Structure 1
């Protein structure tokens, strides 16, 4: 199985393929089917790669939100625009949460 680059990486899809690949490899080991073993190993590796790519993408997006939110918070505070300051705080918090979910990449 090759990594499909025509779609955005997904943690869910990556986990699915990783698990499916592990099952196929195990079945290949039990039945001594080398083709199934190889196919399972490849699908597992592709799933892990997709999962890690999705985490890296999510962490990077969180970094952008966090920085933009911080900028809006500061600009809002300096100019006295309470709605911009509040929106900046919300975006910064969203970015921090997204980074937390995708940490340890």
Structure 2
């Protein structure tokens, strides 16, 4: 994982790289390379899943704060706050959709 936390791109890269190592190790009977490949693939998958979970949680937070701003803006008549809430709520929904498990 990167120092900034889990990353989907890095996770996919290591997952793929690990699969390639595993395959090459299997073809040539290099058990150490095959074992390293399996480990790197598993670590890449774990990083990808962690990044997706983090993104989903961030989307949830944006939806909740956005909804609060929508409601408070509506009650107080602050159209700017209400519109900012609409935008943040929509951003949160999009982020959740992108990071939802299939």
**TM class, shorter-chain normalised?**
over 0.9
Normalising by structure 2, report the TM-score: 0.97
Q: 1:7 deviation in Å?
A: 3.6
Q: 1:6 deviation in Å?
A: 3.8
Q: 1:5 deviation in Å?
A: 6.7
Measure the CA separation in 2 of the matches of 1:47 and 1:91: 31
Measure the CA separation in 1 of the matches of 2:4 and 2:48: 13
Measure the CA separation in 2 of the matches of 1:5 and 1:22: 20
Corresponding position of 2:53: 56
Corresponding position of 1:96: 93
Q: CA RMSD in A?
A: 1.2
Measure the CA separation in 2 of the matches of 1:37 and 1:103: 31
Judged with a 3 Å threshold, the aligned counterparts in structure 2 of structure 1 residues 5 and 11 are, in CA distance, closer, same or farther, namely closer
Residue ranges of structure 2 left out of the alignment (5+ in a row)? none
